[in-house]
Amino acid sequence: MDNASTAVGAISLLLLLIQLPATAILLSRLVKGPTRHPPIQPQQPTQDILGSVSVVVPTLNEALRISPLLSGLSCQSYEVREIIVVDSKSQDGTPDLVKAAQQHDPRFRLMTDDPLPYGWVGRPWALHNGFLHSSEASQWFLGMDADTQPHPGLVAGLVKTAEMQGYDLVSLSPQFILKYPGECWLQPALLMTLLYRFDPAGIKTDQPERVMANGQCFLCRRSVLATVGGYTSASSSFCDDVTLARHIASQGFKVGFLDGAKVLKVRMYEGAIETWKEWGRSLDLKDASPSAQVWGDLWLLFAVQGLPLLILLSYLFLSPQLSTPPAPLLLLLGLNVFLLVIRFAMLLAIAPSYDRQSAKGGWLFWLSPLADPLAVLRIFLSAFRTPREWRGRSYEARS
């Protein structure tokens, strides 16, 4: 065996040591998929849940995308007692849209959360204020983001599922609306960084530190939220939904994360650049995780999502220089072909979680595995940086 083959064999062994344990962890999570809770279905309310939900929506310059949410919330029946929009001094006419909705639906109420206290991030502060001003007669608190588009029957279906399953907190993964080529290619790769790190939506997680949540649709028993002090435990978190959900789970309450693609759509960011910047910097979840867990997740993503494409491309480039591929290299290639097969299988599995009907270049969704190294790089970059600006607010002076 020549020197080149010896070196390639040694490198292959090292990569196998990195990838094999991570692959085993990934497979242990994926095999749970067939046992997950089925997607939430829209339902009609019944007498026992009427007036049981207070909805709180935080806003800051959301005029261009809040209208579908306002109309969608108006379509919910009277299981919704009130809809409190907590605005952070928007300058784009967002309050006017809420006031117009209030003319047709008296359940809407507009309030402001200004000023923002030191040590708080804007979103949890707005939600905390909405909780404090919500009706104590409501049994449930439902936080929703301005970019969501709820279907009729969402709230009733969510509450009925939570009560039937005994959840104290349950949040939903939505159906994502894609419009432009760049995001059709990049967004699914970024989403996959979450799917690789956590159990599938609909699987009960017994470890509080592995709980997943989505603040875009976040239902919690009001009594539970009062017990933990509202959003105070997530006051400085840029992933307040996961931080709060894990805190509540650690107190012994039952927390669920379910598939909501049939009841909820979301239009998060416009184009690949905004998706990379805005969503990418919160996906690391470092504010909700101990450093050891962050490092462990980075290793797993690097091993099973970031490396496979790079390894196979490297082999295609180097193979003419190898007279006889060493055995460790052949094993490494087989493992990474297997990982790519898993990746494309997962792409098929998440296809219903995307609305690509009006997307330009929607076919790029099927090439999103090619963006995996970039997506993993984005998580690494985010993990070592604290955001200094978020949704139009500056946090430069915060430690």
Residues 226 and 303 in one domain: no
For residue 395, what pLDDT is reported? 66
Q: What integer best gives the mean pLDDT of the chain?
A: 92
Please check whether residue 41 lies inside any domain of the structure. Answer: no
For residue 396, what pLDDT is reported? 62
Query: What mean pLDDT do residues 390-398 have?
Result: 61
Q: Are strands 53-59 and 140-144 parallel, antiparallel or unpaired?
A: parallel
DSSP 60: S
Query: What mean pLDDT do residues 178-207 have?
Result: 92
Please check whether residue 77 lies inside any domain of the structure. Answer: yes
For residue 150, what pLDDT is reported? 97
For residue 27, what pLDDT is reported? 95
Please check whether residue 330 lies inside any domain of the structure. Answer: yes
User: For the whole prediction, is pTM greater than 0.75?
Assistant: yes
Of 95, 327, 125, 80, nearest in space to 240 by CA: 125
Domain count, the chain: 2
Residues 229 and 372 in one domain: no
Comparison of pLDDT for 23 and 33, the residue scoring more:
23
**pLDDT (tens digit per residue) in 230-261:** 999 999 999 999 999 999 999 999 999 999 99
Residues 157 and 301 in one domain: no
For residue 282, what pLDDT is reported? 80
**pLDDT (tens digit per residue) in 339-393:** 999 999 999 999 999 999 999 999 999 999 999 999 999 999 999 887 776 666 6
Please check whether residue 358 lies inside any domain of the structure. Answer: yes
Domain that holds residue 376: 3-33+291-385
Q: Is the pLDDT of residue 1 over 70?
A: no
Residues 307 and 256 in one domain: no
Residues 217 and 348 in one domain: no
Residues 233 and 365 in one domain: no
For residue 399, what pLDDT is reported? 41
Residues 102 and 57 in one domain: yes
Using CB atoms within 10 Å of the CB of residue 69, give its burial: 0 to 12 exposed, 13 to 18 middle, 19+ buried: buried
Using CB atoms within 10 Å of the CB of residue 377, give its burial: 0 to 12 exposed, 13 to 18 middle, 19+ buried: middle
Q: Is the pLDDT of residue 220 over 90?
A: yes
Residues 156 and 270 in one domain: yes
